[in-house]
A and B are shown apart, each in its own frame.
Chain A
Amino acid sequence: MTFAKAPAAETAAPTIEITGLNKWYGSLQVLHDINLTIAQGERLVICGPSGSGKSTLIRTINALEGFQNGQIKVAGITLNRDQQVVEDIRRKVGMVFQQFNLFPHLTVLENCALPLRLVRGLSAAEARDRAMHYLSKVRIPEQALKYPAQLSGGQQQRVAIARAVAMQPEVMLFDEPTSALDPEMVKEVLDVMVTLAEEGMTMAVVTHEMGFARQVADRVIFMDAGRIVEQGPPSTFFTAPKSERTKAFLQQVLH
C-alpha cells in the first residue's frame, strides 16, 4: 500500500514558513510571536494543553483563521487576504478535522470525487477513479456507496483523510484527528496516517497520541498559552524535556 508522493517542487525551500505570528481574539492573545518552519517531507507533531492555541495555529496556515501580524508562507506563496492567494494556498494544503466534517448528503465516493471535479477540474470518470484509488489506500473501498452516517467514526475519519489526500496537497494538517474516536478505532486511523508519513507526505499533526509522535515525528512541538515552549526530536523531547510545563504535561498524557 503506497500513497503517491505529492508532486512537490524540487526546491530546498521549506513548505511552511511562519515568522513573528501574533493573533488576538478581542483582547485575548492566543498566539504569541510564533516562529516555525516545516521542511518539505517533515513530520511535525504539535501538542499542548487545551486552549493553548494548537488549533488556532494550524488553522491560520490555510486561512480558516485570520491573524493580526506576522507572516505565513506556504510553498513559496505569502498568505494574505486576497481570494486568489488564499485559494491557491488551500489547494496546496489538505486538512483533517477532529469532527471529520464529511458531507452527510453525499456518498463516501461523492465526498471524495466532488472536490476533485470542482477544484481540480477532473472529469466525472477521472474523479471517480482517483477517489476509488484513495479509498483503497485507506482500506475502505467497499464502503464507497454508503453515506457517512452509515460508517463508524474510524471509517469516517479515514474517508476524510482520503478526501483530503486525493487532492494531492503538498502538506497535510491534522487537528486532533483521533480525539473524537472510541479507543478501538484510534489505531485504524493512526495506521493510515503512519503509512501516509512513510510515503513522505509533509505533515503537521495536532495530537495527544504520544505513541504516534514517537513512531512518526521528526520533531515535536509543545505549546502553552499561545507560545511554543519547547521543541525537539522525539528522542530528546520525551526523555529529557527541559521546561517544567513540558514535564508536567508529558506526565499527564503519558500516564
Chain B
Amino acid sequence: MHFRDNIDYPPMLTRPTVFVPLLTAIFGGLWWFQAGNSAIGRLVLGMAPWAEGNPLNLLTAAFVTVLVGFNIFVVMRLPLRQQVWLVWGELAALILLFFYSFDLSFAFIQRKIGFLITQGLVTTLYISAVSIAIATVLALMGAVAKLSSNGIAQGIAHFYTSLFRGLPLLMQIYMIYLGLPQLGYVVDAVPTGIAALSLCYGAYMTEIFRAGIESIPKGQWEAARALGMRPTSVMTRIILPQSMRVIIPPTGNQFISMLKDSSLVSVVGVWELMYLARTQGQTEFRHIEMMVTASLIYWLMSIVLELAQKRIETHFNKAATR
C-alpha cells in the first residue's frame, strides 16, 4: 500500500453485494459459453460420466464457480504478502496449464532446449546486455546535450531522438545491414543488431533521462553550485542520484522491452533465441513446442530484470521512504 489512510475498509470480496454477483457472473458466463466442451469439462466428465450436453455445462460451471469461491475464501484469510504471491502463483499455474493443454512433445523440447539455451539465449543475452550498456551511455549524453547551452550538441541530440524514435526498429536494422555496405562498410549481423538496438533505445532513454534530470528542483543545482561544487560533480553526485528515482521505472521497462525486441535482429540471420525457436521447430513440424519454450525463457529473463529493477528502486528510495 503506497498511500495509507489507516482506515479498515471491509475487503471488497467479503461483501455479499460483491461476491454474490461476481460468482453468479462467473457461473452464468461459463454456462453461456458451454464450459462443458472445454478441457475442464472433460475433467468433470471423468468424475460424472452420466452428464452430457446441458447438464455437463451446468456441472462444469458450478465446479469452477465453487473452486473460485473456495479460492477467494482461502486467499482472503492470508496476510497481504502471501495473498499477492499465491494469486501470482495461481495465475502462473493457469498459464502453464494452458501451454500444457497443447499436447506438447516434451521429448522434442528436451532434445532442443540445450541448443536453444547455449546458442539462442546466450546470443540474446549478449546482444541485449551490450546494447543496454551502450544505450545508457548514449542516453546520458543525449540528455546532457539537450539540457546544455551548446546549440550544436542540442541540435544533434534533437535530431538523434527524432530520427531513431521515428523509424521502425526493423527499418533501422535493415538500413545498417543493407545500407552501410553502400558506403563501403560491411557490418556483420551481430554488430548490426547491437548498433540498431543501442541507437533506438538510446533515443527513447534520452527522453527518460532528460525528464528525470528536469524533475529535480533547481534549488538543488543552486545550493550545490553556491557551495562551490563543479558542474560535473553537481551532476554526478547531486542531480543524477536523485533523478534515479524517476529514471529507473521507465528504464526497467525499456530493458525488458529491449530483451524481446532483440528478436528483431533475427531478420538478418542472427542465431538468437527467436530465430532458433522458429527454425528448430520447422524440421519436425513442432513449432508450438519451440514457441512455448522460447516464450517461457523470455518470460524468465524478464522476471529476473523485474527483480533487479525492484532492488535498485528500493536502493534509491532509501532516503525518501522513512
A and B found bound together: yes
Interface residues of A (CB under 8 A from B): 62, 64, 87, 90-91, 93-95, 97, 99, 101-106, 114-115, 118-119, 147-150, 160, 163-164, 167
Interface residues of B (CB under 8 A from A): 219-220, 222-230, 233, 237-238, 241-242, 316, 318-320, 322
- Cβ B322 vs Cβ A105 within 8 A: no
- Cβ B319 vs Cβ A149 within 8 A: yes
- Cβ A118 vs Cβ B223 within 8 A: no
- Distance (Å) between the CB of B279 and the closest chain A CB? 49
- Distance (Å) between the CB of A66 and the closest chain B CB? 13
Neighbour of A114 across the interface among B222, B230, B237, B319, CB < 8 A: B237
For A103, the chain B residues whose CB sits under 8 A away are: 220, 223-224, 238, 242
For A119, the chain B residues whose CB sits under 8 A away are: 227-229
For A101, the chain B residues whose CB sits under 8 A away are: 219-220, 222-223
Neighbour of B230 across the interface among A87, A93, A102, CB < 8 A: A87
- Cβ A167 vs Cβ B227 within 8 A: yes
- Cβ A93 vs Cβ B226 within 8 A: yes
- Distance (Å) between the CB of B119 and the closest chain A CB? 43
- Cβ B219 vs Cβ A99 within 8 A: yes
Neighbour of B225 across the interface among A90, A99, A164, A167, CB < 8 A: A90
- Cβ A90 vs Cβ B319 within 8 A: no
- Cβ B242 vs Cβ A97 within 8 A: no
Given A115-B229, A118-B237, A119-B229, A104 contacting B319 (CB threshold 8 A): yes
- Cβ B228 vs Cβ A91 within 8 A: yes
Name which residue of chain A comes closest to B223, CB basis.
A101
10 closest A-B pairs by CB: A101-B223, A119-B228, A115-B227, A101-B219, A95-B226, A91-B228, A90-B228, A147-B319, A105-B319, A118-B233
- 11 more A-B contacts (CB under 8 A) besides A118-B237, A163-B227? A90-B226, A94-B227, A101-B219, A101-B220, A103-B223, A115-B224, A118-B230, A147-B319, A147-B322, A149-B322, A164-B226
- Cβ B320 vs Cβ A149 within 8 A: yes
**A99–B219 alpha-carbon span in the complex (Å):** 8
**A148–B230 alpha-carbon span in the complex (Å):** 23
- Distance (Å) between the CB of B246 and the closest chain A CB? 12
- Distance (Å) between the CB of B68 and the closest chain A CB? 44
9 A-B contact pairs sorted by A residue (CB < 8 Å): A95-B226, A97-B222, A97-B223, A101-B220, A105-B319, A115-B229, A118-B237, A160-B223, A167-B227
For A95, the chain B residues whose CB sits under 8 A away are: 223, 226
**A106–B241 alpha-carbon span in the complex (Å):** 10
Name which residue of chain B comes closest to A102, CB basis.
B223
**A114–B322 alpha-carbon span in the complex (Å):** 22
**A29–B47 alpha-carbon span in the complex (Å):** 90
Neighbour of B226 across the interface among A64, A105, A147, CB < 8 A: A64
- Distance (Å) between the CB of A61 and the closest chain B CB? 10
**A78–B316 alpha-carbon span in the complex (Å):** 41
- Cβ A64 vs Cβ B242 within 8 A: no
- Cβ A105 vs Cβ B241 within 8 A: yes
For B316, the chain A residues whose CB sits under 8 A away are: 105
- Distance (Å) between the CB of B148 and the closest chain A CB? 15
- Distance (Å) between the CB of B217 and the closest chain A CB? 8
For B219, the chain A residues whose CB sits under 8 A away are: 97, 99, 101
Name which residue of chain B comes closest to A59, CB basis.
B222
Neighbour of B228 across the interface among A147, A149, A167, CB < 8 A: A167
For A149, the chain B residues whose CB sits under 8 A away are: 319-320, 322
- Distance (Å) between the CB of B317 and the closest chain A CB? 10
Neighbour of A90 across the interface among B227, B233, B320, B322, CB < 8 A: B227
- Cβ B227 vs Cβ A164 within 8 A: yes
For A91, the chain B residues whose CB sits under 8 A away are: 228
**A62–B316 alpha-carbon span in the complex (Å):** 32
For B227, the chain A residues whose CB sits under 8 A away are: 90, 94, 115, 119, 163-164, 167
- Distance (Å) between the CB of A148 and the closest chain B CB? 8
For B225, the chain A residues whose CB sits under 8 A away are: 64, 90
For B320, the chain A residues whose CB sits under 8 A away are: 104, 149
Name which residue of chain B comes closest to A106, CB basis.
B319
**A118–B120 alpha-carbon span in the complex (Å):** 47
**A94–B225 alpha-carbon span in the complex (Å):** 11
- Cβ A87 vs Cβ B223 within 8 A: no
Given A118-B233, A149-B320, A104 contacting B242 (CB threshold 8 A): yes
For B319, the chain A residues whose CB sits under 8 A away are: 104-106, 147-149
Given A99-B219, A103-B220, A118-B237, A150 contacting B322 (CB threshold 8 A): yes
- Distance (Å) between the CB of B244 and the closest chain A CB? 9
- Distance (Å) between the CB of B239 and the closest chain A CB? 10
Name which residue of chain B comes closest to A103, CB basis.
B238
**A62–B233 alpha-carbon span in the complex (Å):** 19
For A87, the chain B residues whose CB sits under 8 A away are: 228, 230
- Distance (Å) between the CB of A171 and the closest chain B CB? 12
For A97, the chain B residues whose CB sits under 8 A away are: 219, 222-223
For B318, the chain A residues whose CB sits under 8 A away are: 105, 147
Counting chain A CB atoms within 10 Å of each CB, which of B220, B225, B318, B319 scores highest?
Answer: B319
**A35–B222 alpha-carbon span in the complex (Å):** 25
- Distance (Å) between the CB of A59 and the closest chain B CB? 8
- Distance (Å) between the CB of B105 and the closest chain A CB? 54
